[in-house]
Amino acid sequence: MALQDVCKWQAPGTQGPSSPHLPRAGGWAMPPGWDPQTFLRIHGPRLAHGTTTLAFRFRHGVIAAADTRSSCGNYVQCPASCKIIPVHQHLVGTTSGTSADCAAWYRVLRRELRLRALRDGQLPSVAGAAKLLSAMMSCYRGLDLCVATALCGWDRSGPALFYVYSDGTRLQGNIFSVGSGSPYAYGVLDRGYRYDMSPQEAYALARCAVAHATHRDAYSGGSVDLFHVRENGWEYVSRNDAYVLYSELQKLPEPGKEEEEEARWDQPEPVTLHRDSRMPVETEML
């Protein structure tokens, strides 16, 4: 009786709301918001998400770096979130997309990799982990799942890097950057990346790329987290303030300017011959 009054349902042929008859299946009057996905699509605010994550492979392992600001629209949800998640001793992953989806699927990936290690006696390769994650998430294609990750690891074949998206996309490469700040990070990475870099050069390049991205991208910021995956496992290198990093980078000379200055000073100065007015001018007699 009370539920019928709340739903304002009336049986056919009755005058009042208090009727002893129950409605047929699907006849209940549902309150607004009973379907959150539809309700938010129609009435919810348009929120923009943003982040900057990157990873690249080089001779000494794989570097993973990311900013720490978790933002949604014009609101900063968490200024010190960690967007690089360790999976096991030789595998980490960057996270971009919906934070809850990323955290949930990395828990699933940890469980599945642990079960396979117990069954097979060894952990799957980085390619196997990427293939497993891609296959699991592809079953939920079209259900608003949003996970974009770069799996960074070291296995029997050496350093490996894979990009996996929630629709099942799986790519292997040397450089990946994901998030709203990725175009700015790619600009720095494409200019300074070399496979035979030293670890210190790789650290500087990753910090520079994320710092420049946070300066240009409104949805990225906070600090810069840096991880290095080596043969003996992953290492948490540092966390630096992005604004301080960018300010320090602005004080450094551009890499090409010093070389241009040295080349200009190494060149001999051109010699100009001119006639001294005090010297007598010889004239030929005709």
Distance (Å, rounded) from C-alpha 167 to C-alpha 137?
7
Structure tokens at 210: 């994320």
Which is the catalytic residue, given 51, 53, 94, 214? Answer: 51
Residue in 126, 137, 144 with CA at minimum distance from that of residue 168:
137
Structure tokens at 65: 């770096």
β-bridge partners, 147: 97
CA angle 273, 276, 280 (to 5 degrees): 125
CA dihedral (80, 85, 88, 90) positive or negative? negative
Question: Which region holds residue 189: left if phi is over 0, alpha if psi is between -120 and 50, else beta?
Answer: alpha
Q: In angstroms, how far is the first alpha carbon of the chain from the final one?
A: 135
Q: Is 214 noted as a catalytic residue in this protein?
A: no
Instruction: Show which residues are catalytic.
Output: 51
